[in-house]
């Protein structure tokens, strides 16, 4: 999604920033005379991660020519508001431009933003000139950057690949944004805390098995072992997970065959399947320790 504002809108200032990474505090007034690209992102967002290489290239290419990129990190899940987690993600992704930790989403609200990633291109006078939501459109964005900088150079190559129309959608595990789990609950005198997976699966539905509890933002495995199954269509499957012990080992199975073992050592996104071609397959993850599962994303 993209477009230009139909009114001449002045960019709001950065608000409620917990800390700045890779720079001191910045304000829109101080940035007048520069072209500013504000990128709203969060570190478990696969679309944001896939956008990062383009942002890093633009920072390297245009920062000395008057472009300032500010990555505003506005969390989707609670653990993403932890500044130490943000610092680790910035380092792992090799981001060198300024990052503002917008842990309370104050700047997000100031921009009335609703998407990850979202790019707001601001001219030297402080007015928003171009907006783009989601992935793609990189050549168009870079062209507008050059236009606002007053330069005309060869644009970088865009390598963004589109997605199949029937690719599995982002699926949240918590009841706040989940359309329903596929497994039934087994109840006894102590209550209903054990999910039972029948083994018959529909596509794009989460099937927990074991002692899970569904909270607003996540499914939590209270007693290991436990399993989650998901039938998907994608080239890549990612799961946002948080270990509740120091390190949790999980076995990943694709179509019933062991694919890999992973160690969950931090709250972040884990890639559990990847191929060059689309696969309609069945994923199972068996957890050997207590975890929280937040979302499944696909590519």
CATH at residue 21: 3.40.30.10
The arithmetic mean of pLDDT across residues 117-123, rounded, is 98
The answer on 125 and 211 residing in a single domain is no
Q: Which phi and psi angles does 49 have, rounded to 5°?
A: -60, -40
In the prediction, which pLDDT does 224 show? 95
Q: Which residues neighbour 267 within 8 Å (Cβ) at sequence distance 6 or greater?
A: 77, 79, 80, 85, 241, 242, 243, 292
Please tell me whether the peptide bond between 246 and the residue prior to it is cis, using omega within 30 degrees of 0: no
Q: Are residues 29 and 136 in the same domain?
A: yes
| Residue 20: alpha-carbon gap to chain centroid | 20
Q: Does residue 13 sit in the same domain as residue 142?
A: yes
pLDDT beyond 90 at 292: yes
Residue 163 has pLDDT above 90, yes or no: no
Q: What percent of the chain has pLDDT over 70?
A: 97
pLDDT at 36: 98
Pairing of strands 99-101, 191-196: unpaired
Helix (H, G, I), strand (E, B) or coil at 86: helix
pLDDT band at 193; cut points 50, 70, 90: confident
**C-alpha–C-alpha distance, residues 153 and 135, integer Å:** 23
Residues 269 and 145 in one domain: no
| Rounded Cα gap, residues 105 and 129, in angstroms | 23
Over residues 34-49, the pLDDT tens digits come to: 999 999 999 999 999 9
| Block residue for tokens 């900088």 | 149
pLDDT of 188 higher than 80: no
Is the pLDDT assigned to residue 187 strictly greater than 90?
no
Note the pLDDT of residue 2: 55
Q: How many domains does the structure of the chain reveal?
A: 2
For range 15-19, the mean pLDDT:
98
Q: Which position has the token pair 């993403």?
A: 80
Interval 132-152: pLDDT, tens: 999 999 999 999 999 999 999
Q: 125 and 14 in one domain? A: yes
Q: H or E element: which one contains 193?
A: strand 191-196
User: What is the average pLDDT across 174-191?
Assistant: 89
pLDDT at 221: 97
| pLDDT score, position 7 | 64
Please tell me the total number of residues recorded for the chain in this structure.
299
pLDDT above 80: residue 189: no
Residues 10 and 131 placed together within one structural domain of the fold: yes
Which of 94, 118, 149 delimits the end of a domain? 149
Angle at 63 between CA 58 and CA 66, to 5 degrees: 115
| CA–CA separation, 122 and 204 (whole Å) | 39
**H/E element, 191:** strand 191-196
In this predicted model, what pLDDT tens digit does every residue of 66-109 receive, in sequence order? 999 999 999 999 999 999 999 999 999 999 999 999 999 999 99
Element (H, E) at 294: strand 291-298
Host domain of residue 38 = 2-149
Burial status of residue 164 (CB atoms within 10 A of its CB: 0-12, 13-18, 19 or more): exposed
pLDDT at res. 3: 56
User: Are residues 8 and 145 both part of a single domain?
Assistant: yes
């Amino acid at each position: 999604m993209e477009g230009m504002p139909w009114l001449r809108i002045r960019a709001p200032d950065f608000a409620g920033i917990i800390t700045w990474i890779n720079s001191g505090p910045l304000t829109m007034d101080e940035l007048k005379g520069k072209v500013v690209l504000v990128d709203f992102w969060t570190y478990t967002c696969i679309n944001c991660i896939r956008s990062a290489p383009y942002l890093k290239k633009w920072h390297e290419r245009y920062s000395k020519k008057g472009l300032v990129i500010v990555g505003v990190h506005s969390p989707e899940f609670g653990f993403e508001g932890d500044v130490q987690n943000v610092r680790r993600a910035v380092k792992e992704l090799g981001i060198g431009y300024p990052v503002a930790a917008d842990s309370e989403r104050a700047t997000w609200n100031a921009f009335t933003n609703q998407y990850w990633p979202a790019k707001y291109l601001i001219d030297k006078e402080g007015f928003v000139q171009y907006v783009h939501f989601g992935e793609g459109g990189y050549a168009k964005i870079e062209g507008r950057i050059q236009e606002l900088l007053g330069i005309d150079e060869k644009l970088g190559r865009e390598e963004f690949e589109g997605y199949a129309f029937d690719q599995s959608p982002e699926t949240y595990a918590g009841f706040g944004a989940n359309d329903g789990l596929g497994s039934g609950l087994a109840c006894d005198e102590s209550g209903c805390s054990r999910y039972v997976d029948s083994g018959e699966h529909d596509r794009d539905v989460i099937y927990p098995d074991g002692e899970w509890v569904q909270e607003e933002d996540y499914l939590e495995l209270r007693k290991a072992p436990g399993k989650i199954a998901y039938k998907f269509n994608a080239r890549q499957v990612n799961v946002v997970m948080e270990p509740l012990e120091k390190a949790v080992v999980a076995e990943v199975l694709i179509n019933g065959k062991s694919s890999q073992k992973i160690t969950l050592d931090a709250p972040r996104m884990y890639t559990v399947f990847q191929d060059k071609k689309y696969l309609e397959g069945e994923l199972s993850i068996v957890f050997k320790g207590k975890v929280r599962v937040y979302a499944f994303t696909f590519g």
